[in-house]
Chain A
């Protein structure tokens, strides 16, 4: 089973700053099977990025994804107030879906 490790656990930033979130896999992951989700308190997760770098419908272009193999990154170029939330990476492989532990982006 592939384990996804997200870092940091918490990111304290101010609106307007750049956020860089990391997702590291215990073994190589197909980029086309790597997705990122945003979750706000009391809400369901929302798809942000699929295929490691493609934005989902309606997602602002300040969100971008990159990476391959075992290292993937979600970048928020300039944080808006509505971006403070928890972010999860997720992969599919060997008949299993797995999620990372999440990164909380909080207001500094």
Chain B
């Protein structure tokens, strides 16, 4: 079964740090690009960060650039999000999601087809 399981969430004070993990199983993790997406309480979805299959290409949303670092360990089938200088507005459920990218009829298709159940991060004093 294709599965993503996030962990590492919790309560942290403003200015603190947290490292989220996402364990992948049931597919060849090293072949897929990955995203982190978050959802603040009662709000919509917000893309956070992207990493290519090899880890060589990384993108961040402006809201987290310079504070968050995405990484992966393909040998361990794991994705990570190191979150530093946390703010109250970073409070959210954090999801990891598998990115599907494929070519058909000269067009690339790009979407997120598998999601984990999420891990909750609360930034509060």
Contacts and interface: CB of A to CB of B under 8 A. Distances in A.
Bound pair: A and B?
Answer: yes
Interface of A: 30, 32-33, 35, 37, 39, 43-47, 50-51, 54, 56, 88, 90, 92, 95-102
A50 B107 CA distance: 13
B107 A32 contact: yes
A44 B117 contact: yes
Interface string B100-116: 10000001111111011
Contacts of A100: 44
Most chain A CB within 10 A, of B95, B108, B111, B115, is at B111
A92 B50 CA distance: 11
Contacts of B97: 45
B115 A46 contact: yes
Question: Which DSSP category, helix, strand, loop or mixed, fits chain B's interface?
Answer: strand
B79 to A, nearest CB: 15
Contacts of A43: 117
Contact of B115 (A32, A45, A97): A45
A95 B59 contact: yes
Contact of B47 (A47, A96, A102): A96
Given A45-B115, A47-B113, A97-B35, A102 B107 contact: no
B61 A33 contact: no
Contacts of A32: 107-110
Contact of A97 (B44, B50, B117): B50
Interface string B36-51: 0100000011110010
